[in-house]
């Protein structure tokens, strides 16, 4: 089978067309790869920021748990009872101190 000028021109035209198509595909593919790299970079940044926000959120949650336990009614009642006990003890100590001061000031008078 002999190739004529017509077949050779057709073959060369098809080869040029395929080469041009490959060049266009390569250019488009490079652009797509660059966009994917940019998207990956942005996703990694978003992931880092999300992790940081989760840490902050967990810290605030722990602080809130501590504060809510400190301000719970049972805890406040316990602290109020402790404060009342301390105030009674302080009043008793003050009375005893006043008595000791009166004894050692030369006036041996009983405490009323």
Cα–Cα distance list, 88 to 81, 93, 102, 111 (Å): 11, 9, 21, 18
pLDDT in tens, 23-68: 999 999 999 999 999 999 999 999 999 999 999 999 999 999 999 8
pLDDT confidence band for 109 (50 / 70 / 90): low
pLDDT of 102 reads: 80
pLDDT in tens, 83-96: 999 999 999 999 99
pLDDT confidence band for 22 (50 / 70 / 90): very high
What is the dihedral angle through the alpha carbons of 21, 23, 24, 25, rounded to the nearest 10 degrees?
80
Residue 3 phi/psi, 5-degree rounding, is -95, 130
Pair 111, 91: CB distance under 8 Å? no
Cα-to-chain-centroid distance, residue 100? 59
């Amino acid at each position: 089978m002999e190739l004529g000028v017509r077949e050779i021109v057709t073959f060369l035209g098809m080869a040029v067309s395929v080469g041009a198509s490959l060049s266009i595909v390569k250019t488009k593919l490079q652009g797509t790869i660059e966009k994917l790299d940019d998207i990956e970079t942005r996703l990694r940044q978003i992931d880092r920021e999300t992790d940081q926000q989760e840490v902050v959120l967990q810290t605030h949650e722990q602080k809130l748990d501590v504060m809510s336990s400190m301000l719970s009614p049972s805890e406040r009642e316990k602290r109020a009872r402790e404060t009342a006990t301390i105030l009674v003890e302080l009043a008793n100590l003050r009375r005893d101190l006043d008595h000791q001061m009166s004894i050692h000031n030369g006036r041996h008078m009983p405490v009323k």
